[in-house]
Amino acid sequence: MPRRGAARTAKLASLPLGIAGRAVGGWGKRLAGQSAEQVSATLSAKAAEQLFEVLGTLKGGAMKFGQALSVFEAAVPDDMAQPYREALTKLQSAAPPMPARQTHRVLAEQLGRSWVGRFSHFDDEPAAAASIGQVHRATWHDGREVAVKVQYPGADEALRSDLRQLQRFSRLFQAFIPGTDVKPLLTELAERMDEELDYLAEADNQRAFAKAFEGDPEFLIPRVVASAPKVVVSEWATGTPLAKIISDGDPATRNLAGRLLAEFHYSSPARAHLLHSDPHPGNFMLTSDGRLCVIDFGGVAKLPHGIPRHLGEITRLALDGHSDELMRLLRENRFVRADSSLEADEVLAYLAPFTEPLAEPTFHFTRRWMQRQAGRVGDSRGNDFHVGRSLNLPPEYLMIHRVTAGSTGILCQLDAEIPARGIVERWQPGFAA
């Protein structure tokens, strides 16, 4: 992992500069006789290739940003999405690994010089390498198969440096995922980076989830075996990654994975008083017995009182078309500023389409549906764009909003048809009433 700030900045700057350079080259190719479609396809493929190479090699905040973007690729129009879809999917679970000697050094620092004795076997080849750490398969001294998550040396410096630089380039990165507001996403990642780096806190989060879902026939949370500030050892779990199901799963498997993902998202605040806040397909697997296995608990929001009741009430009012009551509740909870000139009917017109998945007993989440929503709110010529910019999202709801949007993005990638209404009625306070 490159650790010097100047080197990392230069790498990150190469992304927007590369896009600009290829655009100029594209004009030359068109003048030489190539069609606009040929040039566009070539530019998209090259940009996607560079995106993976830069964000994946740097790891740290750069790769964390790429993973966060990956769940929103369903909003990208199909005619330009495929190269980015493939590149962003790679970022969910694969990155160039660090050498074995570095891994051993971290393990010795964190678990003691006799760390080897804790394992009867340790595989030096990582099973997965991601944004701030990589995972090794091993056998604990008592015979249990375990996953050993090891943080990259210098990950803390890299995370802070990357996120500072990415915030500077936020408007340029907007071109990668049209319809996604990149700046607040980066701000939130920067605010939560200390939590991501603290593996002791991550282990505590995982223990809390494992306790809340213990014995559940539909969910598997691997139990923590040992932990240190930069190492977490937990029970090994196997399954089919959601990225694999997204790429070639059959409809029944897609629907099962989607239903379980939605159930986990909405039930966790009530069952564990926590919200898993890193929703990208690399953190979920479907086991051979049909359970959803959830991993990586570095990003978790604490919700001691669960999801606020008025969020369910707002959703219900938007679904039922009660514009005046909806406006009153939005004002009371600071989603609409007191001095705003927004009209109740235009706010309802903006929010109501988002409630479509709850209008019927089942809903088919598709990329086309998400693209329509992103196009509607991202078109600066339309009224929805201006209404959206005039609404206010209080800071305490930013995480809930982002995770819900991310989970919805995965449902659209899965092309899943699920009983969304029943899940929300069961777990979202205020909605059923």
Q: Sketch the domain layout of the chain as residue ranges.
A: 309-427
Integer angstrom CA distances of residue 188 from 51, 68, 154, 353, 402: 21, 11, 21, 26, 9
**What phi-psi label fits residue 346: left (phi over 0), alpha (psi between -120 and 50 degrees) or beta?**
alpha
pTM of full prediction above 0.85: no
Query: Strand, coil or helix: what is 232?
Result: strand
Indicate which residues carry an active-site annotation.
278
CA 23 to chain centre: 29
Kindly report the number of other CB atoms within 10 A of residue 220's CB atom: 21
Query: Strand, coil or helix: what is 240?
Result: strand
> Is the distance from CB of 69 to CB of 89 less than 8 angstroms?
no
Residues of the chain with pLDDT under 70: 1-96, 130-131, 158-194, 433
235-250 residue pLDDT tens: 999 999 998 999 999 9
CA–CA separation, 286 vs 253, rounded Å? Answer: 9
Query: Strand, coil or helix: what is 146?
Result: strand
CA–CA separation, 90 vs 152, rounded Å? Answer: 19
CA–CA separation, 315 vs 163, rounded Å? Answer: 33
23-68 residue pLDDT tens: 333 333 333 334 444 434 443 445 555 554 555 454 544 455 555 5
What does the pLDDT read at residue 390? 86
Q: Quote the crossing angle between the two packed helices 398-414 and 367-378, to the nearest 10°.
A: 140
| Element counts in the chain: helices (H) and strands (E) | 19, 14
Kindly report the number of other CB atoms within 10 A of residue 147's CB atom: 19
What does the pLDDT read at residue 190? 62
Locate 327 and state its tokens: 């406006």
> Is the distance from CB of 223 to CB of 235 less than 8 angstroms?
yes
Determine the length of the chain: 433
